[in-house]
């Protein structure tokens, strides 16, 4: 990970990618480059609907966009009470859990949708697991393991609250630290 710097280009040798050039001038060797630019929610068809659209359909903490109108999945941008701000999540788990929460709301439940998101991926010899949110401006500290050994758990804090944990080749220890995220998201946000 190279935080705080951007990619300015790719280098090549004999017509094949050879490296990734960073804004700092550093070139990282690479045999393959995968570019993920992101996703834009498809809300154009709702432009004249009267709903608030801003990086998705803006909803309250119950995923309600207007009286009797709800949004779920990639297109929903809702108020996460644990974070005290609007968020939008792009993953299958969120779409499923959010749909269940909206079904409950339609049936009369009055419960905010405030998930602790997670994902995991295996990348060659690395098992990466994340619970919660990893803000770019968070305080970050290694709470287990060792970076040089490529086995560690990192905790993310914002405004004194734990918002996320990231584990690298330590899935059990990362899962055990999930409760810190749950507790942190239940605290009242300070902003």
Q: Is residue 191 part of a domain?
A: no
Q: Is residue 112 part of a domain?
A: no
Count the helix, strand and coil residues of the chain and give each as a percent rounded to the nearest 5: 20, 35, 45
Q: What's the total number of domains in the chain? A: 3
22 & 49 share domain: no
E strands, the chain, are: 7-13, 16-22, 27-29, 57-59, 64-66, 69-70, 76-80, 85-87, 118-123, 126-132, 139-146, 151-158, 161-168
At 95, which CATH number? 3.50.50.60
The two tokens of residue 44 are 């154009």
At 137, which CATH number? 3.30.390.30
160 & 127 share domain: yes
Q: Is residue 132 part of a domain?
A: yes
- Binning pLDDT at 50, 70 and 90, where does residue 17 land? very high
Predicted pLDDT of residue 2: 78
Within 13 Å, how many C-alpha atoms sit on residue 12's CB side? Answer: 5
Q: Is residue 8 part of a domain?
A: yes
pLDDT digits (tens, 9 = 90+) for 48-97: 999 999 999 999 999 999 999 999 999 999 999 887 889 999 888 889 99
150 & 176 share domain: yes
29 & 55 share domain: no
Q: Which residues, at least 6 apart from 40, have a Cβ–Cβ distance to it below 8 Å? A: none
Q: What is the model's pTM?
A: 0.68
6 & 49 share domain: no
6 & 26 share domain: yes
- Would you say residue 190 has pLDDT above 80? no
Q: Is residue 123 part of a domain?
A: yes
96 & 133 share domain: no
Span 98-105, mean pLDDT?
Answer: 95
83 & 102 share domain: yes
125: DSSP letter? T
pLDDT digits (tens, 9 = 90+) for 128-157: 999 998 988 899 999 999 999 999 999 999
CB 75 within 8 A of CB 94: no
Q: Which residues, at least 6 apart from 116, have a Cβ–Cβ distance to it below 8 Å? A: 131, 132, 178, 181, 182, 185
Q: Is residue 113 part of a domain?
A: no
123 & 157 share domain: yes
10 & 59 share domain: no
22 & 61 share domain: no
- Would you say residue 124 has pLDDT above 90? no
69 & 18 share domain: no
Q: Is residue 50 part of a domain?
A: yes
The whole domain housing 145 covers 118-186
């Amino acid at each position: 990970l190279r935080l705080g710097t951007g990619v300015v280009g790719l280098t090549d040798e004999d017509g094949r990618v050879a490296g990734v050039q960073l804004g700092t001038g550093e070139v990282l060797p690479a045999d393959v480059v995968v570019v993920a630019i992101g996703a834009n929610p498809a809300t154009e068809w709702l432009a004249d609907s009267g709903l608030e659209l801003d990086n998705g359909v803006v909803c309250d903490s119950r995923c309600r966009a207007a009286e009797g109108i709800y949004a779920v999945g990639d297109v929903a941008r809702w108020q996460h009470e644990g974070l005290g701000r609007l968020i939008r999540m792009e993953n299958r788990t969120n779409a499923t859990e959010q749909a269940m929460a909206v079904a409950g709301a339609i049936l009369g439940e009055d419960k905010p949708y405030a998930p602790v998101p997670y994902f995991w991926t295996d990348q060659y010899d690395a098992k990466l697991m994340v619970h919660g949110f990893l803000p770019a401006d968070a305080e970050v500290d290694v709470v287990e393991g060792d970076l040089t050994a490529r086995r560690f758990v990192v905790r993310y804090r914002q405004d004194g609250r734990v918002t996320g944990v990231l584990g690298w080749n330590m899935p059990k220890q990362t899962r055990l630290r999930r409760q810190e995220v749950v507790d942190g998201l239940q605290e009242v946000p300070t902003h």
